[in-house]
Each structure stands twice: as C-alpha cells, then as structure tokens.
Amino acid sequence: GAVVSQHPSRVICKSGTSVKIECRSLDFQATTMFWYRQFPKQSLMLMATSNEGSKATYEQGVEKDKFLINHASLTLSTLTVTSAHPEDSSFYICSASARRLAGRDEQYFGPGTRLTVT
C-alpha cells in the first residue's frame, strides 16, 4: 500500500516551453502533497506543499509563477514548470501524506521525474 506514481519519469524539452509533471497517490487519498527538487549528488530541497483544494505554500526562494502547483483532487497534484530554462533541469520528486495511514508524520515518495531543458 501507499504507492505514489509520477509521470513522466523523464522529459526533455526546449528552452521556453512549459512542462507538466503529475503526481498520483494510487491507493490512498493524499491530504497533503509535497514537491522537492534534487540537484545532482545533493539532497532534496522542499519547493512547496499543497493541500487538496487550496493554494500551495511555497518555500522561500521558489518562484510560484514559474513552478505552478495544482492539487485538484485527493489523488492528484501537478507541477508545471513554465517557460523552462536549462537551469531548471533537475530531478523533481513528489511525496504524499495521509493522516489515516501509519501515523501523521510519514511521507510516501514518488519515483521522481528527470527534467532536461535544452
């Protein structure tokens, strides 16, 4: 149980285009979803937290107009990288939590999406 999927797993796009990444909780309802960014050989950096039906809360330094997050349902959150540039190339990982599962403080991670902007 508690499986989180991401789509696509890899995407290559041209500079200036937008890319949408989906994060789904497959067998539970996620009250909260998180988006992280991971640079090569570095740790995860939290970008934003989203609760179903409300606006995402962004971490300091993360541009909310560039990284659009939509949490339209209890099983789906999307991250759209708008007007992507090469410096946006990174590994994006989502996670989801649900208070009824195994305590309130565990996040279940997706497999990640590698974005390459050329």
Partner 1 sequence: GNSVTQMEGPVTLSEEAFLTINCTYTATGYPSLFWYVQYPGEGLQLLLKATKADDKGSNKGFEATYRKETTSFHLEKGSVQVSDSAVYFCALSEINNNDMRFGAGTRLTVKP
Sole window of 13-21, 70-78, 79-87, 106-114 interacting with partner 1 (rule: CB under 8 A):
106-114
Q: What is the DSSP string of 38-88?
A: E-TTS-EEEEEEEETTSPPEEPTT--TTTEEEEEEETTEEEEEE-S--GGG
Measured CA to CA, the distance from residue 118 to residue 104 in angstroms comes to 40
For partner 1, which is the closer residue by CB, 42 or 83?
Answer: 42
Q: Give the residue, chosen from 34, 35, 58, 67, that forms a contact with partner 1 under the rule CB under 8 A.
A: 34
89 makes contact with partner 1 (CB under 8 A): no
Compute how many residues bind partner 1; rule: CB under 8 A: 24
Q: Give min distance, CB of 16 to partner 1, in A.
A: 27
Q: Give the residue, chosen from 1, 40, 43, 65, that forms a contact with partner 1 under the rule CB under 8 A.
A: 43
Buried b (16+ CB within 10 A) or exposed e, 79-113: bebeebeeebbbbbbbbbbbeebeeeeebbbbebb
41 makes contact with partner 1 (CB under 8 A): yes
Interface ranges with partner 1 (CB under 8 A): 6, 32, 34, 41-44, 46, 49, 93, 95, 97, 99, 103-112, 114
